[in-house]
């Protein structure tokens, strides 16, 4: 047989197979979309019976891969944090507030506030770029893992701005780890936040996220949602949650969670490993 004819037949066969493959893939994608649409419609109707409403345009987020995040936090009974803020010489009053000639540090559970008596790095340039630079330099000075924190922008406050940083690893947000800096023309006057992180170790887990659709079916039972009142889901976001711990800051585990925001202002967290609600 003519070699040229064989090549033509071969190319025709390849083209036909490619068309068949595309058709199969297209049909599979359409079937999956239709399956998701039916599931979402059923879920919406189920929730509506309990006056919990899922907006029609809301898309269910994809479940990311689960990672274990082991964190070294920096306060509670750890006097190293006090020294970072207040220096070597400090006192502690009966209310548990640490103080020195540099400022005051208040620790309450997993939250902290440092009131700076001697601010430096004063500025008249309140652009986001300059404010971020000043805050990251302060993090480095305090031994905070600056690269872990994402700059979330600034808000206007009395005589200056408040810069907000949230902890994040690649696309994974830590919902309860953040730092804020109050800055005026004299410099940084207040540093506050929750679950301050100084180190991070990451390992991959083979566990899969618990289905968000399964979690949503249980949402009306959440005790934080007032019964007999309409609630609308505002957002659904996968991420990580540190929570409280009675241990000192060593090898604290951040667990994978689904964060569900409600129009009433409630923020609900569900453990993505088992679908259980997390009580804050």
> With 70 as the cut, is the pLDDT of residue 165 above it?
yes
Residue 279 CA to residue 268 CA, distance in Å, equals 8
Task: Return phi, psi of residue 93, to 5°.
Answer: -90, 180
pLDDT of res. 8: 58
Residue 265 main-chain phi, psi, to 5 deg: 105, -10
Which pairing describes strands 52-53 and 231-241: parallel, antiparallel, or unpaired? parallel
Length of the chain, please? Answer: 280
What pLDDT score does 132 carry? 94
Distances (CA, A) of 175 to 40, 165, 261, 276: 26, 11, 12, 17
What mean pLDDT comes out for the span 160-179?
88
Coil, strand or helix: which one is 204? Answer: strand
User: Is residue 214 a contact partner of residue 226, using CB atoms and an 8 Å limit?
Assistant: no
Rounded Cα distance between 236 and 249, Å, is 30
Query: What does the pLDDT look like over 253-279, one tens digit per residue?
Result: 788 889 999 998 999 999 888 888 987
Q: What is the mean pLDDT of residues 53-65?
A: 79
The rounded distance, in Å, linking the Cα atoms of 266 and 263 is: 7
Pull the structure tokens for residue 39.
């599931």
Q: What tokens does 273 get?
A: 């490993």
Q: What are phi and psi of 248, to 5 degrees?
A: -70, 175
End-to-end CA distance of the chain: 77
Scan for tokens 């690649």, then name that residue: 170
| Structure tokens, 91 | 């006192």
Q: For residue 135, what pLDDT band results from cuts at 50, 70 and 90?
A: very high
Greater pLDDT, 4 or 230: 230
pLDDT of residue 249: 44
- How far, in Å, CA of 24 to CA of 271, rounded? 37
pLDDT tens, residue by residue, 218-256? 899 999 998 888 999 999 998 888 876 544 445 577 888
* pLDDT over 70 (residue 11): no
pLDDT score for 137:
92
Question: Cα 168 to the chain's mean position, in Å?
Answer: 6
- Give residue for tokens 């929730």: 47
Query: Which of 19-28, 43-52, 128-137, 261-270 is the least confident region?
Result: 19-28
Which pLDDT does position 219 carry in this prediction?
92
Average pLDDT value for the chain: 80
pLDDT the model gives residue 6: 55
């Amino acid at each position: 047989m003519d070699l040229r004819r064989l090549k033509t037949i071969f190319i025709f066969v390849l083209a036909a197979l490619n068309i068949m493959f595309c058709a199969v893939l297209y049909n599979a994608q359409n079937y999956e979309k239709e399956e998701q649409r039916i599931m979402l419609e059923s879920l919406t109707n189920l929730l509506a019976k309990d006056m919990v409403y899922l907006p029609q345009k809301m898309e269910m987020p994809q479940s990311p891969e689960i990672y274990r995040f082991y964190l070294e936090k920096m306060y509670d009974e750890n006097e190293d944090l006090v020294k970072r803020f207040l220096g070597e010489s400090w006192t502690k009053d009966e209310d548990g507030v640490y103080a020195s000639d540099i400022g005051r540090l208040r620790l309450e559970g997993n939250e902290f506030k440092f009131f700076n008596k001697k601010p430096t790095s004063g500025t008249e340039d309140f652009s986001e770029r300059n404010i971020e630079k000043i805050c990251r330099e302060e993090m480095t000075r305090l031994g905070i893992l600056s690269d872990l924190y994402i700059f979330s922008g600034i808000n206007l406050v009395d005589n200056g701005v408040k810069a907000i940083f949230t902890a994040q690893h690649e696309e994974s947000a830590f919902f309860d780890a953040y730092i804020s800096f109050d800055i005026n023309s004299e410099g940084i006057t207040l540093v506050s936040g929750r679950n301050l992180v100084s180190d991070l170790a990451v390992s991959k887990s083979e566990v899969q996220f618990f289905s968000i659709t399964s979690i949503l079916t249980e949402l009306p039972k959440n005790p934080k949602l007032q019964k007999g009142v309409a609630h609308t889901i505002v957002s659904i976001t996968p991420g990580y949650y540190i929570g409280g711990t009675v241990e000192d800051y060593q090898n604290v585990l951040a667990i994978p969670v689904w964060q569900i925001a409600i129009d009433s202002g409630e923020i609900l967290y569900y453990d993505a490993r088992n679908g259980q609600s997390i009580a804050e």
